Amino acid sequence: MGVLGIDLGGTNIRVGLAEKNKLTKVESCEVPKSSSQGEVVDSLISLIERFDTKKIEGIGVGVPSVVDVEKGIVYEVQNIPSWKEVHIKKILEKKFKIPVSVNNDANCFAVGEKYFGKVKKYKNIIGLITGTGLGAGVIINNQLYSGNNCGAGEFGMIPFKDNIFEYYCSGQFFQNEFGKSGEELSIKAKNGNRAALKAFSQYGANLGEAIKMIMFAVDPEVIVLGGSVSKSFKLYENAMWKSIKSFAYTKSVSRIKIEVSKIKHIAILGAAALYLDAKENNLLKKPKS
C-alpha cells in the first residue's frame, strides 16, 4: 500500500505516489489562474484517478494557504484565486473513501524532512523555508504542531529592524535591497563579485538573527533550511554562524544543528508525510461513507 502526496503550489497540481520511502510515480497538470473552483477540483480528481486508488491507504494535501487542519478546509489559496474556501478533505474522502490529511506547505516541508530527509533521528525540528517568503513548520516531540489557526511557525511576520524578518531573510531581501534576484547575485558571487558576496554576507547575518529568535522561542534540536535561497547556503553560511554564535547561551549554540534540504520533490513527499504523521500519532478518522 502507498500514500499519495498532493502539492497545490506554483502553477501546477502535482500528485505523487510514495512507496517504501520513495516516489514511484508523479503526475501533474497546469492550473490556469482563471480556473473556477470546480474546474480545479475536477482536475485534481482526474490526476488522482491516474493511480490505482485501491492500493492507496491515505492522501496528504499541501497548500500555500491558511488551513483548518481538523476539518481539512483551505482558505484563499495563493496561486488559485477561485479557492476562497474549499472543503478539500470532505470532497476527496467522499469521492475515494480514503483518509485525507491537509496542511500548509511549510508544515508539509517540516514533516517531509522528518519522514524522508536527514533529520529523522531528531524529535524537535524546525523546517525553515527561505524562498519568496519566510515560513516554517514546527515539530515538537515528534509531532507536527500547527497551532490553533494553522499559524504556528510564521516567524517571518515578526518585526525585525525597520520591517519584518521575511523582508530580510527571504529572496525579497536581494530584490528590495540590491534590485536583483538572489539567483542573479548568486551567479555573480560564485564568480567572485565583491558586491554580490557582501549581499550574501548581509543576508547570512540577518538569517542568523532569525535563527536566534527561533532558538529563544522554540529551542529546537535542528533547523533544516529549504526554499530557493537555501541553494546558495555556502555563500552565507559563515556570516550566519557568526551571528548565531552571539546567542546568549553558548551551550545552545554548540548543540544546535543547521541542515539544508537535498530532497527532490520535497513538496509532494511532505504532503504524503502528513498522512504518515497523522497515522503515527493516532489522529486519523475513518472517512464517512
pLDDT in tens, 173-214: 999 999 999 999 999 999 999 999 999 999 999 999 999 999
* Best CA proximity match to 267, nearest among 2, 26, 20: 26
- Tell me, yes or no, whether 98 and 133 share the same domain: no
- Tell me, yes or no, whether 256 and 270 share the same domain: no
* Best CA proximity match to 121, nearest among 265, 276, 257: 257
Q: What angle do CA 224, 77, 82 make, to 5 degrees?
A: 160
Domain with 241, as residue range(s), is 119-260
- Tell me, yes or no, whether 176 and 96 share the same domain: no
- Tell me, yes or no, whether 66 and 136 share the same domain: no
pLDDT for 176 equals 95
Does residue 96 form part of some domain? yes
For residues 113-147, b (16+ Cβ closer than 10 Å) or e, as one string? bbbbbebeebeebbbbbbbbbbbbbbbeeebbebe
pLDDT for 289 equals 61
DSSP 178-216: HSS-HHHHHHHHHTT-HHHHHHHHHHHHHHHHHHHHHHH
Q: How many CB atoms lie within 10 A of CB 158?
A: 14
pLDDT for 231 equals 96
Using an 8 Å Cβ cutoff, are 90 and 98 in contact? no
Using an 8 Å Cβ cutoff, are 63 and 73 in contact? no
If you ran DSSP here, which 8-state letter would residue 101 be given? E
- Tell me, yes or no, whether 141 and 43 share the same domain: no
Q: Cell 497551532, residue?
A: 147
- Tell me, yes or no, whether 75 and 146 share the same domain: no
pLDDT band (50, 70, 90) for residue 134: very high
- Tell me, yes or no, whether 87 and 145 share the same domain: no
Total tally of structural domains belonging to the chain: 2
Mean pLDDT of the chain, nearest integer: 94
